[in-house]
Structure 1
Amino acid sequence: MDPEILVSVKNKVQVVTLNRPNKRNAITGSMYKALTNILRDAAVDDEIMVTVLTGKGDYYSSGNDLYNMGSANSEDPIREAKASLFAFVDAFINFPKILIAIMNGPAIGIAATTLALCDIVYASEKAFLQTPFIRLGLSPEGCSTYTFPRVFGTSKATEMLLLGHKMTSLEALKHGFVSEIYSSNEMLEKIWNKIYGLTSLPKDSLLHSKRLLKMFDKDSLVLANVKECDELEFRWQSEEFQNAVLNFISSKTSKL
């Protein structure tokens, strides 16, 4: 198991915690593969009814680790990164159990977009969402070209995906993207009690009802994932992206 991802199971609730607090829980190439496998395994594990995603420390996740996006030994890193991203998002789309995110802090990029593929999102009052794709010479992913306009409306989705609007957890709550906001450990404990309470419900009824809720969007989500990954394959090879990454690294280095 990847030490940068903590996994525990208790009373049919699986908790998956991103464990790179010193790196704002940025997701590496190896973490993508590990998280995909965790979701796929949980999907067929009869001892798991609910999977909860969260982060350790102040961030839920800052998104892609631009320093460590793929395997150093890969013969075709772009192709590998595309396949890894597609599989990761596909694991969210096809996850048959209840998938809940506890956004303990900021969620950026892929961490923000995949929240829309979860069944329920709870958030800290200090959390925010941001998708700075264009600033990095990239394009949207995580099926956000499909999910965001349906949640936020076309205007706000465009502001987020193209202009990198930083959305507070309160604003996300008003749009229905977030189900509940917590501001204290006591409130968070109540959320966990609610999550564990799900496992006392009739299992087949719960999971079949989720399937009904998701089935009408599923084909569109799969198509969005395909098209977004195709575009990203092109963007990753672009001069705009290469320059944006160099500028990002330079700005980080200058602050050391």
Structure 2
Amino acid sequence: MSEIDRNRIELLVASIRELTPGQFSWLERTVQIFQCEHHYSILHSDLLDEETLENFGDALRIHHSFSVEPFSKDKFEYVLERVVNMSSERAKLAPKGNRGHDITIDNTRVSLKTQADKGIREDKIWISKFMELGKGHWGDKPADLVSLLNLFLTHLDNYERIFILRALRKAPDWIYELVEIPMQLLLLAGSGKLDMKSESKQFPKPGYCFVNEGDTELYRLYFDGGSERKLQLKNLLKSRCIVHARWEFTIPAV
């Protein structure tokens, strides 16, 4: 153990003596969580090393020591920047409200997504709000879907990589995975098959873009004509994506 590490431990022990009973209780809970069973693994990743993998997993465990709600997008953004920068200043969050990338890592613009729906499937990815479709012209003409598709393809120019943090299993035995969606896979939508649902009672009329490889559906885009006017990415085959890492851990009841 280095002299610096010994000094850090001594300072920490001294500060613990100053804690209130309530503060000490929270600290005990965190230490208890760190002693619980867990397994972290890197599958194929140029983003995470073993140290970053462990630090991100421990951040997940700290979160779930106080919450049964899955990691939200803002927590994902903040913690990823923090753990990447623990070893070197390689990451920087984009300004709040930026319509393009969420974070820059190694000078690469990255979009971050999360998935934690109740009916989550391990083999297929669903992003309920990939992007907002705005207030431009969109009615009941099938040609309107062409404009919406072009909006999606243009939006992809705003970043170079896309990562999604997926909560595959929830309390008490949590499983998270980090998956990268290849940009080339999404760009295949440019040759997808558009289908407007003219029979829908919604206005503007919703529609789909089906992206297939032979008889295999790779994914579909859903242009949601509801009040949010958003684009959903549905039924994306995880087998065509890159699984970077996986975190499994147990959070005992208080």
Which one has a bigger Cα radius of gyration? 2
- Normalized per residue, the structure richer in helix is 1
TM-score, shorter chain, exceeding 0.5: no
How does the TM-score come out when normalised to structure 2? 0.29
How does the TM-score come out when normalised to structure 1? 0.29
